[in-house]
Structure 1
Amino acid sequence: MLGLGSDLLWADMNRLLRLLFHEGVLDEQFLQLQQLQDETSPNFVSQVINMYFHESEKLLNNLRSLLIQAHDDDFADYNKMAIHLNQFIGSSSSIGAKRLTSLCLAFRAATHHTNRPGCLRALEMLEHEYCYLKNKLHELFHIEQQRALVAAARYPLHDNNQ
């Protein structure tokens, strides 16, 4: 029965990944990230993604603060926003967050035109997409943890001291 549970969890993981690829949320870079995970670092992907989320929260807060303070003629704040967006673009593309990367590019274009209404819309869309990605990846990691637990129950570690 445990094998069936593991198979169902694999199917759930694959279904969720297919959805995220089909929607354009993720790209092949995410698969390359997964290929770096092995037995010596079984939590590699979740650790990288959690660091990404931690840094992204800071970037979103910085962008929100700068945008609240920004005026249409304040090029310094828009330049700072562009710098934060460049960081966000780099980190998002490195984990395969395709839609987030695209939204950051659109946001950066709005900053180049000091278009405050455009920046506000872009930030709203960016935050929405970020939350969606975060929820879906947490769901994926939860399924992966369940699968690991089922596998551990199926193949328990043997204590060599007994």
Structure 2
Amino acid sequence: MLGLAADSLRADMNRLLASLFHQGVLDEQFLQLQQLQDESAPNFVSEVINIYFHESEKLLRSLRTLLSEREFSDSKKIGIHLNQLMGSSSSIGAQRVRNVCVAFRAASEQDNRAGYMLSFSRCFPTI
């Protein structure tokens, strides 16, 4: 019984991953991350993803705070946060988040505050 349930769960996970790859949410870097998981570290991928979510949430909150300041002037700090988010997203294969960061950075380099505030709120509405 347990073997059938595990097989069913594995099949569901494979379908979900295939869908995420097809939608452009994940890229091949995620597959490389999965290859690092073995018997000595059976929860490696989930631990890395949990760290990514935790750190990304902090970065996004910091970005929202910086962007909501009336006297917005710290574009260097925004760039640092974006670079961190882009780097960590790239390292786990979160392609869509990385692409959003690239677009957000382009808007910020053009000093288009209204444009990047709008794109930020559309991409990360709950942060």
1:112 paired residue among 106, 109, 113: 109
Which has more radius of gyration? 1
TM-score of the two chains, using structure 1 as the length reference: 0.73
Percent identical: 61
Higher RCO (C-alpha 8 Å, min separation 6): 1
Distance between the aligned counterparts of 2:2 and 2:46, measured in 1?
Answer: 24
- Pairing 1:29–2:26 present: no
Alignment size in residue pairs: 127
Distance between the aligned counterparts of 2:68 and 2:37, measured in 1?
Answer: 40
Distance between the aligned counterparts of 2:79 and 2:26, measured in 1?
Answer: 23
Following superposition, the deviation at residue 70 of structure 1 comes to 5.2
Following superposition, the deviation at residue 78 of structure 1 comes to 2.0
Amino acid at match of 1:86: N
Deviation >4 Å, runs of 4+: none
TM-score of the two chains, using structure 2 as the length reference: 0.92
2:97 paired residue among 93, 96, 100: 100
Amino acid at match of 2:80: I
Q: Which consecutive unaligned segments of at least 5 residues does structure 2 have?
A: none
Partner of 1:45: 45
Contact 1:70 1:78 in 2 (8 A): no
Partner of 1:122: 119
Alignment of 1:6-25 (within 5 A): 6-25=6-25
Q: Which consecutive unaligned segments of at least 5 residues does structure 1 have?
A: 132-162
